[in-house]
Amino acid sequence: MALKYSVKFVLMQTKIKNKDTSLRCFVRFNNERAPFLTDVKVEPRYFDKVKQRAVVTSRFDGSDKNERLDQIKRFVDDKFLSMTEFPDPVAFSEECERFVKSGDKSIRKPRKAETMPTTLMAFIKKLALDSREGRRKIASGPRKGQRYKPDSLKSYDSVVYVLNKFAESERVTDFPFNDIDEDFYERFSSYYYNVLKKSVGYFSTVIKIIKTAMNESKRAGLHINDSHNSRSFIKPAYESDTVSLDLSQLKQLQDHVFKPGQEDIEHARDLFLVGCWTGLRFEDFTSIRKQDIHHDFIRIKTGKTSERVSIPIHPMLSKIFKKYGGGPPAPINNVYLNRDIKIACRKAKLTQTISVRVNKAGLDVIEEHPLYKLVSTHTARRSFASNMFRQGIPTLLIMAITGHKTEKAFLKYIRIGEEEKSRMMAERWKQIQWE
């Protein structure tokens, strides 16, 4: 039986967010722990303790630090794979320290040449592995030729999981390339909606990855099947209902005074509002540094598109920066920020009931929820786009900040009802001297 153990990297200090700090490794096994100091240093604001990785964004690229952490973990993994009984914790710590000091990379022996997969799930697994190890690069778009970000590859694992469930229902282990046709699509979509009870939004992602895998495997000469490109092998287009906060709601949230002991919730509120007043994606508005602020503008390079943007600092945003010594609040993990911003909105009395359209098992239903429960980190960006549109700012100027490439995509993104659009037009008409 394999020996059970765990590996965790912990910062030596977390109070000073912008100070290079050493990471310590704790190996736990058999109710013992073997700690040792690594040779990796990172500023606490750039280390995700949940993911156990340095962040990789346009502001900070922790890829080299993550590679070293992987090397250290591989060393520990290899040691435990070779053991038949638990080691002495002190001796094991010393052995790990010697490895770190030696600078060894603990690279495993090259794997034997593998035969190319001949089935769908096996090929998707290969795409994910090749992407994680840097052999497969982004083929198009502004990040063409660059490596995939780890978070973007999680969907590959999810698709394999869903396909494996479907394979179990079909009593097969995998699906040969030549079996991926219209009949496969109908059986799979029926299972997805009727048995798994999943939404159409995620089904679109699943089909997109299946099509990608089929196209790449065909280009590799593994089959000649082209059924996945037929008109009936559809990747559904679906835009779910989401919410945005208007200017009065943002002011209500920003003006709320939190009680002593709620500093973490207040911090989350302030960081969320940075997104509301900049229109940036989560990874970008949580990566703003003090040196990115130049007088009345924020100038940064966005992570997803690698484009440089210049954003004027709104007076409400200026108040937040002043509160934090002229810079933004320290970054927060996406999971924690999503949790705490809901609490902040509830305490700020953003509790009105909202009707939203959601997709369940492939069918649209209308549900009612209090507003605060629907707020997420992405609400910040939608709020910015919607509020700027309400103010009559030309869409092309807003798009220069949000990064939307087409006006069609932008107009789908904003959250403004048809009746409100009509009122906006009526107000504009009043401003025009017709006679």
Report the distance separating Cα 212 and Cα 279, nearest Å: 31
- What are the pLDDT tens digits along the chain (435 aa)? 568 899 999 999 988 988 999 999 999 998 999 999 999 999 999 999 888 989 887 678 888 898 899 899 989 988 888 888 899 999 999 999 999 998 776 555 444 555 789 999 999 999 999 988 888 888 877 677 888 877 778 899 999 999 999 999 999 999 999 999 999 999 999 999 999 988 887 889 999 999 999 999 999 999 999 999 998 999 887 666 678 899 999 999 999 999 999 999 999 999 999 999 999 989 899 989 888 998 889 998 887 777 788 899 999 999 999 999 999 999 998 889 999 999 999 999 999 998 877 767 667 778 889 999 999 998 999 999 889 888 888 888 888 888 777 877 787 777 665 555 566 566 666 666 665
Nearest to 50 by CA among 334, 412, 409, 405: 334
Nearest to 188 by CA among 199, 178, 203, 177: 203
In CATH, the number for domain 258-430 is: 1.10.443.10
Report the distance separating Cα 336 and Cα 108, nearest Å: 36
Nearest to 371 by CA among 277, 244, 251: 244
Backbone φ and ψ for 430, nearest 5 degrees, come out as -65, -25
Residues in the chain: 435
Query: Domain boundaries in the chain?
Result: 6-102, 120-229, 258-430
* pLDDT digit string, tens, across residues 393-414: 888 888 888 877 787 778 777 7
CA distances from 137 to 65, 217, 356 (A): 20, 15, 38
Instruction: Count CA atoms closer than 13 A to 344's CA, side-chain side.
Output: 29
Nearest to 24 by CA among 43, 33, 37: 37
